[in-house]
Amino acid sequence: TPDVVTVGEAMALFIAREAKPLAEVRDFERATAGAELNVSVGLSRLGFRVDYVSALGDDSLGANLLAFMDAEGIDRSHVRIDAAHPTGFMLKAMNDDGSDPQVEYFRRGSAASRLSPADLREPDPWQQARLLHLTGISAALSDGCRELVFAMARQARAAGRLVTFDPNLRPRLWPSEAAMIATINDLASLADVVMPGLSEGRLLTGRKDAAGIADFYLGRGAQQVVVKLGPDGAYYADGGNRGTVPGQPVAKVVDTVGAGDGFAVGVLSALLDGLPLPQAAARGNAIGARQVQFRGDCDGLPTREQLADAMAPPMP
């Protein structure tokens, strides 16, 4: 049985090798993307068994992603090949100044967007996993995807599994901001651990500060909330305990994309290792800080050895 199950869209990613508007870039590097895929990669590198639920087209982009999953040791027995729909892909610009790069999606009507509750088979061995990780991206892709993630969340909860949730707001994937906020907060209310970024949390809850955002989700049934504060670290709260863990200094931000997924890898892996929430938040910070120093969305996700280095206090 796997330790962790997650569900989402894996995409081919083409990263610009020159700092120009995407329409002018000629030279792209091939990579992989998908928030839940990134989390799967990170947890697998740390030694956890990860079962990734998804769908890919019967095309070269899909074949490349399957080979990537195999190389990363991810169980892809629940990755369905859909010959009638293509694998999604995205383009990412290169920014010299550490600001969020322009990204462009080519994913409407993709194989993964056709996932639905029909992809749940009974009984599925992955329902025995310790943890189910979800993000708001999967819920945005289609009605079927939304129904699938809600069904998985309800089943995992009923089975007493830990459900972790990263809102991962992608406004352009939603029909309206109101629909995005309502659906994401409904999904968050099925989660034990909720991990919004500060600006996401403000938009979702209407509260101004991290403590207010944490109270909002604790009031809706979450056991633990961690609010990502970027370079300022993270705010954590559970029933009794709350506080801030400082951020890790980063000499040069290369690419911000994937930092939140790195943070999730840190928090989830620490909780699976049995560590308390402040240490989980600190590990989230360390992996997020490592990830922004790499160009690919998952290139900075560490092995156990690299994690130990990333957590070590800086040399005096």
Residues that bind ligand KDG (CB under 6 A): 33-35, 38, 137, 170, 257-258, 260-261, 297
By beta-carbon proximity to ligand KDG, the closer residue of 152 and 257 is: 257
Query: Which 3-state string (H, E, C) describes 56-99?
Result: EECCHHHHHHHHHHHHCCCECCCEEEECCCCCCEEEECCCCCCC
| C-beta separation of 25 from 65 below 8 A | no
By beta-carbon proximity to ligand KDG, the closer residue of 148 and 257 is: 257
Kindly state the smallest distance separating residue 298's Cβ from ligand KDG, in Å: 8
By beta-carbon proximity to ligand KDG, the closer residue of 25 and 301 is: 301
Kindly state the smallest distance separating residue 90's Cβ from ligand KDG, in Å: 6
Kindly state the smallest distance separating residue 37's Cβ from ligand KDG, in Å: 7
Q: Tokens 């910070």 — which residue?
A: 285
Which single residue brings its beta carbon nearest to ligand KDG?
33
- C-alpha distances (whole Å) from 252 to each of 103, 157, 233, 287, 300 are 21, 41, 16, 15, 13
SS3 call for 297:
coil
Catalytic residue among 238, 261, 273, 297: 261
By beta-carbon proximity to ligand KDG, the closer residue of 110 and 279 is: 110
By beta-carbon proximity to ligand KDG, the closer residue of 112 and 237 is: 112
Kindly state the smallest distance separating residue 197's Cβ from ligand KDG, in Å: 11
Residue 282 host element (H or E): helix 277-291
DSSP of 188-248: HTT-SEE--BHHHHHHHH--SSHHHHHHHHHHTT-SEEEEE-GGG-EEEEESS-EEEEPPP
Is-catalytic flag, 261? yes
Report the alpha-carbon distance of residue 2 to residue 51 in Å, rounded.
Answer: 6
Kindly state the smallest distance separating residue 174's Cβ from ligand KDG, in Å: 12
Report the alpha-carbon distance of residue 121 to residue 240 in Å, rounded.
Answer: 39
The residues that are catalytic are 261
